[in-house]
Amino acid sequence: MIDQFVIPLLKILIVLNATLVGVTYMVLLERKVIAWAQSRLGPMRVGPYGVLQPVADAIKLMLKEDITPTKADRWVFTVAPIISMVPALIVYAVIPFGPVVRLFGRDVSLYITDINVGLLYIVSVASVGVYGIILAGYASNSKFPLLSSLRASAQLISYEVAVTLTLVSVILMSGSLSMVSIVDSQYNARVWFAFVQPVAFVIFFIGGLAETNRAPFDLPEAEQELTGGFHTEYSGMRFALFFLAEYANMIVVSSVATTLFFGGWLRPFPNVAALHFLDVLPSWTWFLLKSFVFLYIFIWVRATLPRYRYDQLMRLGWKVLIPLAIANLVVTGIVKVMLF
Amino acid sequence: MPITPTHYMLLSAALFIIGVIGVMVRRNIIIIFMSIELILNAVNINLVAFSSQQHNVIGQVFAVFVIAVAAAEAAVGLGIILAFYRNKESVNIDEMNLMRW
Amino acid sequence: MAEAITFYTIAACILGFAALVVTTKDTVHSVLFLVLDFLFVAALYVMLGAQFLAAIQILVYAGGIVVLYLFVVMLVNLKRAPEAHQDPHRLSKLGFGLACAVLIELGVIIVSGYMKAPPAALAAPAVLPVSGNTEQVGWLLYTSYLIPFEIASMLLLVAMIGAIVLAKREL
């Protein structure tokens, strides 16, 4: 009874809360890091060193007036940010934060669940997330958001193909779709998959940048383009939901990259007994540390690179990344058959 | 009453008939295409129900092929709709009678 | 007991949303109901133990094909209602009545056919060297049914080229 209901419920509560708090503080982290990259300080006034800035942001957004444009489709207008947010959150059900540990006298697995089609679940849920963007642009009943949302969704579905092909290469290496067994196969192979599949990792990361509408692929939502993109007509809490969804997607891409390419919860050199002193850090700390590195790289890339134009973006997705991903898959298959 | 494949077959038949009604009654060609997708889904439910009853995954393999064919058909059909709309500005199937006078 | 409740709920949602797809006047709402319908059908597949097919249903059907429909619905942005003209030769009510009659006939056939003889296993379930739903589907696809698999991929390639050519502005 406790094992079936209470423990998963507790895990879900912990993960959801951690995600929402993490997403709110990601906003602050981004502003700070971009500020430091530009030789300034970022938010410093609210709380010591600006640490309470997200709280102030949240209160402001909740108290803002929720405007619905006239002649907008009310139901679709309301539901679009929800459709954007839900896939970003339910992906956490399969992300493994750590192995089975002993807590309070019980064997508790540090992941909510482990389904045997975990990776396919992540990809399919991500492809449902496109609807939020399309419907937001359509429901706004205004030209700029409609065009921008069509552009954004075209970008998303183009880069989805490249990302899925790289994930297939990882599946070839590990032999299973379940996230936990992908980490276990990295343990058994004694090497993180990023070193075995560098091309796949790079393509996955670039595709992840494009999937989450992050710079340099953030044309659909940049303020200088199309007057603000598909969330022009949104205000208040609905606008907040879109941004939270974007940051949650960023954390999801970082977590998935960590699990698939960088060993998940494994410490560096997990099979080398001499480095046993590194085990003082629990497994989930390693996971969070590695995900944080990726999040930092996301923000770093935003502060550094200029924005891609739309035709350059599409050309990159279709003419460069997809052929590279297919070539990587073919080479992986050939090497795996011939050598193993 | 345990859920036997009969229940799944009845569900599949009902979904099939809803799709057929959609094809026959509606005049918007996009809704007609969507009703065809409903028909294909009804067939898939039937296949998967039998696959689970016979403990043989052949039904699911067949369903995968049905999904692939449905994707191909949707792509080409929507391309035809777009080409037609560009010429005649209408998606009413009763007005799609260019080869008849 | 729990299985029965789940089945009836999912079945009611599938049929309800399908009926809404067919009857809604607004095309975008119709597409949204179709997405929900497909998600419930994927839940039904999970209930039947076909997890790979459920993921493929969400990935391809709900996340790909219906997005395509949504794009076309938005590109075909009509000012006047598409169903304004009623073709006098169309016998909609007769079609609806005949379809309901066919449904009742199908129901009778199915129920009576199953009441008579519980079906024996048609073929001995093939023992595949792998276990797990995805692995078994993959095994069958790549060994016994390799040729249909290759033909399906060629079909998709041809459909892709055809759709691109059809939707171009000038050929």
Domain of C47, CATH number, reads 1.20.120.1200
Examine the domain organization and report whether C72 and C135 are in the same domain: no
- Report DSSP state, residue A308: P
Q: How far is the CA of A67 from the CAs of A144, A184, A236, A239, A339, in angstroms?
A: 17, 49, 8, 11, 61
Domain span at residue B45 reads 5-95
What backbone torsions phi and psi does residue A244 show, to the nearest 5 degrees? -60, -40
State how far the Cα of A309 lies from the Cα of A225, in Å rounded to an integer: 10
| Residue A226 confidence (pLDDT) above 80 | no
Residues in C closer than 8 angstroms to B56, CB to CB, are 123, 125-126
Tell me how many domains chain C contains: 2
Higher pLDDT residue, C53 or A64? C53
- Report DSSP state, residue A129: T
CB contact under 8 A, C64 and A123: no
| Residue A179 confidence (pLDDT) above 70 | yes
Domain span at residue C168 reads 130-171
- Report DSSP state, residue C126: P
- Reported ipTM exceeds the 0.90 cut: yes
State mean pLDDT over B18-35: 92
Location of structure tokens 């403990």: B55
- Report DSSP state, residue A321: I
Residues in A closer than 8 angstroms to C132, CB to CB, are 116
Q: Is C125 part of any domain?
A: no
pLDDT at B41: 96
Q: Is C155 part of any domain?
A: yes
CB contact under 8 A, A150 and C74: yes
Least CB–CB distance from B15: residue in C18, C85, C95? C18
pLDDT at A213: 85
Least CB–CB distance from B82: residue in C72, C111, C162? C72
- For chain C, how many residues are written? 171
Nearest to B15 by CA among C21, A19, A233, A297: C21
Decide if A199 contacts A328 (C-beta within 8 A): yes
| Residue C83 confidence (pLDDT) above 70 | no
Examine the domain organization and report whether C143 and C73 are in the same domain: no
Q: Is B78 part of any domain?
A: yes
Angle, to 10 degrees, between the axis of helix A237-261 and the axis of helix A118-128?
150
| Residue B43 confidence (pLDDT) above 80 | yes
Q: Encode pLDDT of C5-14 as tens digits.
A: 999 999 999 9
* C30 touching chain B per CB within 8 A: yes
Examine the domain organization and report whether C4 and C66 are in the same domain: yes
Give the residue from A74, A76, A83, A131 with the most C CB atoms within 10 Å of its CB, the best one to mutate.
A131
Domain of B81, CATH number, reads 1.10.287.3510
Q: Give the end of a domain, one of C43, C78, C113.
A: C78
- Rounded to the nearest angstrom, the minimum Cα separation between A137 and chain C is 10
Nearest to A161 by CA among A26, A321, A47, A28: A321
Q: Give the end of a domain, one of C44, C78, C112.
A: C78
Angle, to 10 degrees, between the axis of helix A130-139 and the axis of helix A118-128?
10
Residues in C closer than 8 angstroms to A116, CB to CB, are 51, 132-134
Higher pLDDT residue, A256 or C76? A256
Q: Is C106 part of any domain?
A: no
Residues in B closer than 8 angstroms to C142, CB to CB, are none
Q: Give the end of a domain, one of C18, C47, C78.
A: C78
B-contacting residues of C 34-93, CB under 8 Å? Answer: 34, 37-38, 41, 44-45, 48-50, 52-53, 56-57, 60-61, 64-65, 68-69, 72-73, 75-76, 78, 82-85, 87, 90, 92
Neighbouring chains of A at 3+ CB pairs within 8 Å?
C
State mean pLDDT over A188-204: 91
pLDDT at A140: 81
Give the pLDDT band (50/70/90) at residue A184. very high
- Alpha-carbon dihedral angle through residues B46, B47, B49, B52, given to the nearest 10 degrees: 170
State mean pLDDT over C127-156: 90
CB contact under 8 A, B35 and C155: no
Q: Is B101 part of any domain?
A: no
Q: Is B33 part of any domain?
A: yes
Residues in C closer than 8 angstroms to B14, CB to CB, are 15, 103
Q: Encode pLDDT of A324-340 as tens digits.
A: 999 999 999 999 999 87
Residue of C nearest to B50 (CA): C48
pLDDT more than 90, % of chain C: 57
> What residues of chain A have any CB closer than 8 angstroms to a CB in chain C?
73, 75-76, 115-117, 120-121, 123-125, 127-128, 130-131, 134-135, 138, 146, 150, 153, 157, 177
- Rounded to the nearest angstrom, the minimum Cα separation between C152 and chain B is 7
Tell me how many domains chain B contains: 1
Residue B24: which residues within 8 A CB-CB, separation 6 or more? C92, C95, C96, C99
Location of structure tokens 């990601």: A26
Location of structure tokens 């607004």: C26
| Residue C78 confidence (pLDDT) above 70 | no
Residue type, A260: L
Residues in C closer than 8 angstroms to B57, CB to CB, are 50, 128, 133, 136-137, 140
